[in-house]
Amino acid sequence: MDGFGYRAWLQPSKAQLGFIPRLKGAKDFAWEECAHGLEALFGRKPTNRGDYTITLETSPDPAPEAYTLRGGPEGLTVTGGCEKGLLYGVYGLLSRLCLGEPVETMNVREKPAVRHRVLNHWDNANGTVERGYAGASLFFKGGRIGYDLVRLKDYARLLASVGINEICVNNVNVYRDSAKLLTDEMLPDLARVAEVFRPFGIRLIIAVHFDSPVILGGLETADPADGAVARFWEESARRVYEYVPDLAGFLMKADSEFRSGPAALGRTQDEGANVIAKALAPFGGNIYWRCFIYNCAQDWRDTETDRPKAAYNEFHPLDGKFDDNVILQIKHGPSDFQVREPNSPLLGAMTQTHQGLEFQITQEYTGQQKDLYATAVQWEEILDTPVTDACMTRDLVGHEVTAIVAVSNTGADANWTGHLLAQANLYAFGRMAWNPAQTAEQLTRDWAALTFGRDPSLVETLTSMLLESRHVYEKYNAPLGLGWMVNISHHYGPSPEGYEYMKWGTYHRATHTHIGVDRTTHGTGYTAQYHNYVRDLYESKKTCPEKLLLFFHRLPYTYKLKNGQTLIQYIYDTHFEGVGDVKRFIKIWESLNEKIPQDAYDSVREKFDMQLANAREWRDVINNYFYRVTGVPDDKGRKIY
Ligand code: GCU
């Protein structure tokens, strides 16, 4: 594959290695990856006549994926807790070398904070990708598994190099063709995909259809309480594990967005999940069970139902009822991957249940890989959000949160992610899932240096632009946690009332005087789902973080923010500012022209034109909408159409 973007953060290093490497240790996969990396990154094949010895070894460790790097004047030893740990050690060493860390003094111990660091691909068997903005599927073509073997291996290396260890290959919305992943028709091909990823320490997951017992098994029902249904899942698990003995498990989206599920059959979510969990348990598999459940056929006139309350209402009473190999997969917010929402009240509320925290790397609502948007900034905020007065969301990681999951942003585009700079989001996800204590700033800086080289001013400029990008996007988007003012279905661009009269439960209920939904205990009661400390924080307009004000409160446009500005003026100002910021980004990017390879420079420059058009559209549509409903002019007299 040609083109700068293909190698992503595994670019040939512009720095010299400073020594001739000699490799010691068993000639296994980690050895090969180390030799490959030294050659690909530094143009140095290890040789027996080398003057610096890199020793690769394993030594049992309670954390098998852990590794140490111990350098000295003569050589450095990479020790893995098992072969996988050793492989991570090799990637850790290579990236530290690229970042310019001196080898003699390297003294590192790393271990992952969570066991399951998972990517979900929303790939369909026909080769399309739901919410994909980077080309066709890497795994499927024309109704079957179909891939480019060289590419897939390079993909596996990219993912493993940042510590991702499980991937779901197919869309959570399972249609009839991909339901067949459970059958002899597709399993031989799936087994070959597993072979590509296995040496890289990556296990596969498949998303399964709740109605599989009916669709594939010819049964009359998929009722989890039916013995024949349990047998169907047992047989399916046995068959799948014959082909893929190390499968990480299944993923299920049930009772969600018109998909079937236990609730539709009068059963509970634990009944639905446990019957599959029991089938997977003998093989060491997990069932990832998504909590994205809400009434998606709401009448907009109904003001009692409040969509953000749904998942907690459904799952919280079931805490403790799930088998040990069930992982409840919870979207980070109670809405749906909006640019700003509070954390899901389920996080931290289920002490007896394994949880997976679900992020979205693919930029569905956040610019679709046309607009620049550094997701790591948002994830950091999510992890820094309190669950109680004494506990942050990040404190749950490694305890009840045993998995960190994200919807992938990759596809068959030559640079994997469409927007070249969106590679930063994939990179940051892997590393943050490995160690959530790492800051967005550090990860962005590392990514910039690994991708574009260690020129300090380039790294600084890129890093600060990326770190600012989330805030800039938010400025021209729906204000203050309101969300959803997007065009329906495809979710790009503004439409202030696009979802206002629809069935999806996403209303801002603007009148000429007020906007927002009162989600306090005086309103829909959503805030009561949080621990008291957090509830009180959001309950009061005074302590509610201002950026979430319109998520929690219904307010008049004349409401005064902390800086004295009115709500309506804040909306106008931020929308004008957002467009100005994008213009500034373009200038910044243009200033880097000399330092970025031409094809990469041009491709990003083109994206910025799209972003500017989008930001303008948002500014003018949103400002126009609020001017129309309120009649309040901009106090700075700028043009509102
Ligand atoms: C969003 C998204 C869908 C997706 C769903 C999910 O609603 O728009 O494409 O299927 O989330 O996460 O299941």
For 121, the token pair is 């691909």
Helices (H), 304-418: 310-315, 375-383
CA–CA separation, 276 and 428 (whole Å)? 32
CA–CA separation, 371 and 470 (whole Å)? 10
Instruction: Specify the ligand 1 atom closest to the Cα of 331.
Output: 12
Pairing of β 166-168 and β 249-252: unpaired
Residue with CA closest to ligand 1 atom 11: 336
Residue 230: CB atoms within 10 A of its CB come to: 18
Residue with CA closest to ligand 1 atom 12: 292
Pairing of β 67-71 and β 75-80: antiparallel
Distance 272 CA to ligand 1 centre (A): 20
Residue-wise pLDDT for 468-485, tens only, equals 999 999 999 999 999 999
Distance 261 CA to ligand 1 centre (A): 16
Contact present, 337 and 365 (Cβ < 8 Å) = yes
CA 263 to chain centre: 27
Catalytic residue among 211, 270, 364, 581: 364
The secondary structure of residue 515, as a DSSP letter, is E
Instruction: Specify the ligand 1 atom closest to the Cα of 172.
Output: 13
Contact present, 9 and 423 (Cβ < 8 Å) = yes
Residue with CA closest to ligand 1 atom 7: 336
Distance 40 CA to ligand 1 centre (A): 38
CA–CA separation, 376 and 370 (whole Å)? 17
CA–CA separation, 573 and 198 (whole Å)? 52
Report helix, strand or coil for 444: helix
Report helix, strand or coil for 600: helix
Interhelix angle for 29-42 vs 83-98, to 10°? 10
Which residue among 120, 364, 486, 502 has the greatest number of ligand 1 atoms within 8 angstroms of its CB, and so is best to mutate? 364
Which pLDDT value is given to residue 1? 58
Which pLDDT value is given to residue 16? 87
CA nearest neighbour of 620 among 640, 600, 591, 596 = 640
For 470, the token pair is 């989330």
CA–CA separation, 311 and 251 (whole Å)? 17
Distance 466 CA to ligand 1 centre (A): 26
- CA angle centred on 589, ends 583 and 595, rounded to 5°: 165
What are the residues whose beta carbons fall under 8 Å from the beta carbon of 166, sequence distance 6 or more? 116, 117, 118, 119, 202, 203, 204, 205, 248
336 is catalytic: yes
For 473, the token pair is 């996007």
Which pLDDT value is given to residue 2? 67
Helices (H), 477-597: 532-539, 549-552, 567-591
Q: Residues enclosing ligand 1, CB less than 6 A?
A: 130-131, 172-173, 253, 292, 336, 364
Q: Longest C-alpha distance within the chain, in Å?
A: 79
Using a 10 angstrom Cβ sphere, with 0-12 exposed, 13-18 middle and 19 or more buried, the burial of residue 195 is: exposed
Residue with CA closest to ligand 1 atom 1: 336
CA–CA separation, 210 and 207 (whole Å)? 10
pTM over 0.95: yes
CA–CA separation, 336 and 308 (whole Å)? 9
Interhelix angle for 456-476 vs 440-452, to 10°? 130
Catalytic residue among 195, 220, 242, 257: 257
Handedness of CA 490, 494, 500, 501 (dihedral sign): negative
Contact present, 7 and 35 (Cβ < 8 Å) = no
Contact present, 434 and 112 (Cβ < 8 Å) = yes
Which pLDDT value is given to residue 171? 98
Catalytic residue among 223, 270, 336, 474: 336
Instruction: Specify the ligand 1 atom closest to the Cα of 171.
Output: 10
Distance 6 CA to ligand 1 centre (A): 28
Distance 414 CA to ligand 1 centre (A): 25
Instruction: Specify the ligand 1 atom closest to the Cα of 491.
Output: 8
CA–CA separation, 481 and 468 (whole Å)? 18
pLDDT under 50: residue ranges of the chain? none
Distance 380 CA to ligand 1 centre (A): 22
DSSP-derived secondary structure for 423-436? HHHHHHHHHHHH-T
Handedness of CA 30, 33, 39, 41 (dihedral sign): negative
Helices (H), 562-597: 567-591
Residue with tokens 């996969």: 29
257 is catalytic: yes
CA–CA separation, 113 and 115 (whole Å)? 7
Instruction: Specify the ligand 1 atom closest to the Cα of 360.
Output: 12
